[in-house]
Homo-oligomer: A and B are copies of this chain.
Amino acid sequence: MKQIAIIGFGNVGKCAYEALQSAPDMDLRCIVEAPGVPVPPSLSGLWTTDTKDIRRFGDVDCAILCLPSRMCPDAAEELMKMGVSTVDAFDIHTEILETKRRLDAVAKQHGAKGVISAGWDPGSDSIIRALMEAMAPRGLSYVDFGPGMSMGHSVAVKAIEGVENALSMTIPAGAGVHRRMVYVQLKPGASLEKVTQAILNDPYFVHDETHVEQVGDVSALLDMGHGVHMTRKGVSGNTHNQLFEFSMRIHNPALTAQMLVNAARAALKQPPGCYSLIEIPVIDLLPGDRGELIRRLV
């Protein structure tokens, strides 16, 4: 059995807790959450507010980082320096490669293993994207997300001054183009105009058509369903018009957390270093006897 820590107990952290209950090869050692968050009574024996404290619960093989993307690289580095492997769902696409290289050096120095960007996009979708390109090396791929809540975009809006609560919905417009529908609940006295401008200038929104709407209660709108539709039309060898399509409708944090648990399993099978999911054999994501998996799945 591998010993696991969950770092961050928000939506993804809670789903990681559930996914670990069903994982036949992993035990939950401890949960790290910021001070001030109410501790569920049944989890008080596993709870700490300080990452440095996790050794108190016994050896930890891998920490599942269920933190906002911005916090993941430093948290991973701190854990790797303690000799703990890490997985995260870091989703800032433009910074994945440099972050992976930075963590790869740390991991190798400390004998740790890391998997970066191991949610669903980046994550499981990355595997399908790479496979589709292999199947048709020339051609065009499109990824359409939604309709669904973007956790990253919603968190970005919540960080804006004057915002009490926010929901950013991703609406697919086809061929990889998206519209953002942002629902904001303002703090007393906040200016909708200022908040709207801050949203439109935020790097998360600056490239997409974005609509901001004020609502009285964001919590009444929350639904964690999400989806993706990936297509590729291209050329295998010299043969045109090869058509590939992948789609899913999923509970977003549940799939993110499930992939993180899978990635933790896979991480511990790799040599020290930091990997993206496309660098890891898919069989390593699964528990159980490898011969049986090959017999059943190949």
Residue numbers of A with Cβ under 8 A of B are 15-16, 18-19, 21-22, 93, 96-97, 100-101, 117, 120, 122, 124, 126-131, 133-138, 235-239, 241-251, 254-255, 257-259, 261-262, 276-283, 285-287, 290-291, 293-295, 297-298
Which of B96, B136, B262 sits near A298, CB closer than 8 Å?
B96
How many copies make up the complex?
2
Residues on B with beta carbons closer than 8 Å to the beta carbon of A235: 22
Q: Is the CB of B297 within 8 A of A133?
A: yes
Residues on B with beta carbons closer than 8 Å to the beta carbon of A138: 22
Q: Is the CB of B127 within 8 A of A127?
A: yes
Which of B248, B279, B282, B286 sits near A243, CB closer than 8 Å?
B248
Which of B93, B131, B281 sits near A128, CB closer than 8 Å?
B131
Give CA–CA (A143, B243) in the complex, Å.
Answer: 17
Which 10 pairs across A and B sit closest by C-beta, in order of nearness?
A: A239-B254, A19-B237, A236-B258, A18-B237, A18-B238, A134-B285, A236-B254, A130-B282, A278-B283, A243-B249
Apart from A97-B291, A236-B257, A244-B246, 16 more pairs, CB < 8 Å: A15-B236, A19-B236, A21-B237, A96-B294, A124-B134, A130-B283, A130-B285, A134-B262, A239-B251, A239-B255, A244-B248, A245-B245, A276-B294, A276-B298, A278-B293, A279-B281
Q: How far is the CB of A185 from chain B (nearest CB, A)?
A: 26
Give CA–CA (A237, B66) in the complex, Å.
Answer: 15
Residues on B with beta carbons closer than 8 Å to the beta carbon of A100: 294
Residues on B with beta carbons closer than 8 Å to the beta carbon of A249: 242-243
Give CA–CA (A135, B228) in the complex, Å.
Answer: 14
Q: Is the CB of A15 within 8 A of B237?
A: yes
Residues on B with beta carbons closer than 8 Å to the beta carbon of A245: 245-248
Among A120, A280, A283, find the residue whose CB has the most chain B CB atoms closer than 10 A.
A283
Give CA–CA (A255, B291) in the complex, Å.
Answer: 26
Q: A127-B127, A286-B134 are in contact. Are A239 and B297 (CB under 8 A)?
A: no
Q: How far is the CB of A123 from chain B (nearest CB, A)?
A: 8
Residues on B with beta carbons closer than 8 Å to the beta carbon of A18: 237-239
Closest to A122 in B: B298
Q: A246-B245, A250-B242, A283-B279 are in contact. Are A258 and B297 (CB under 8 A)?
A: no
Closest to A121 in B: B298
Closest to A141 in B: B297
Give CA–CA (A255, B126) in the complex, Å.
Answer: 20
Which of B124, B133, B295 sits near A286, CB closer than 8 Å?
B133
Give CA–CA (A285, B290) in the complex, Å.
Answer: 21
Residues on B with beta carbons closer than 8 Å to the beta carbon of A293: 130, 278
